[in-house]
Amino acid sequence: MNEKQFPLGDTAFFIKYNMKGLSLLAFSLFFHQVTGQGISSILDNSTNPGEVLMEFDNRSPQIKGSFYLFDEWQKGQFTLNSGASISEQWLNYDVEYDLLEVKLDNEVKIVPLLMLKGFSTSDPGQEQTFYQPCDNYYYEQKVPLTGLCEVVESDYYGLIMRFMTDIKESTYIPALDIGNKEDELIIREKLYLTIGDKAIEIPQKKQSFIQLYPDRSMDLTSFIKEHKLNHRNVSDLLIILNFLNENKAFQ
C-alpha cells in the first residue's frame, strides 16, 4: 500500500501532552453541556491519579518522519463513547500511540482511542472523512483489528483503511558512502473489505475476490467483466461494492 510521511462515560479523561518530552498527565473533564458549536462549559481540574506522572516516550529523536496522520491540523469533530459530540475543533492523530490530539487556545490535549467512538475531518470542499477504532471489525476467528481505521465505505459490504506505523531502516552503505543514513518513521495504509463487522484482506486474484460473495458470484462476475473493473483499484472497488449493496435484498 501507499506510505504517508508526514465518536466515555459522563466523565471524560484527557491527558495533557507535552510536545517535546511527551509527558502524559491525566485530566478529569466534566462535560456540562455540549452544543453544535462545541463545548459551552468545561470544568477542567488537573489531577494525577495515584500521584503518578506517566512518561513513556521511547521514540528516538534521530528517526526522521512523522507519527501524525495529517501533515497539518484538521478542522473536525469527535464523538465520545457516551455519545457526546464536540465539533469545530482542530484535530490531529498520533498513529504510533493511538491518541487523538485536540488543539485548544494555549495547549494540546489528547483523547485515547479506547475512549473514542470516532471522529471526522472536512476538506475545504466540505467533504467529510470518517475515522473510528478498528476494533469495531473482526479479523478471522473473532479477533478484533487494532488501531485507527478510515471508513471508506460504511454500508454492509464496506471498505476500511487501517493505519500503522513502521520504521524504514537506513540504506546507508559505509564502504560506498551511498544511501540514506537515517531510519525513517512511516505510516502504512492497509485496505480491508468488510461484510457486516467482519474484515477481510483484499485477495490478489479476481476469482478469490468473487468467492467472498458466493450468493452473487455469477452477477458479480458479469458486472466486473462488463464494466472492465479491477477489484484492486480503489475507485473500481467502490463501484463493485455499490453494486453489491444496491442488490443485497437476499440477506
CA distance 151 to 85: 18
User: Of 168, 184, 201, at which residue does a domain stop?
Assistant: 201
Say whether both 99 and 131 belong to one domain. yes
CA distance 104 to 91: 10
CA distance 81 to 118: 8
Say whether both 179 and 227 belong to one domain. no
DSSP string, 105-150: SS-EEEEEGGGEEEEEEE-TT--EEEEEEGGGSEETTTEEP-SEEE
- Structural domains counted in the chain: 2
Residues of the domain holding 208:
204-251
| Residue pLDDT tens, the chain, 251 long | 444 433 333 333 444 444 333 333 333 333 333 333 333 333 243 433 443 334 445 555 566 668 899 999 999 999 999 888 999 999 999 999 999 999 998 899 999 999 999 999 987 776 899 999 999 999 877 899 999 999 999 999 999 999 998 776 666 666 666 666 677 778 899 999 999 999 999 999 999 999 999 999 999 999 999 999 999 999 999 999 999 999 775 44
Residue 220 Cα to chain centre, angstroms: 30
Say whether both 139 and 183 belong to one domain. yes
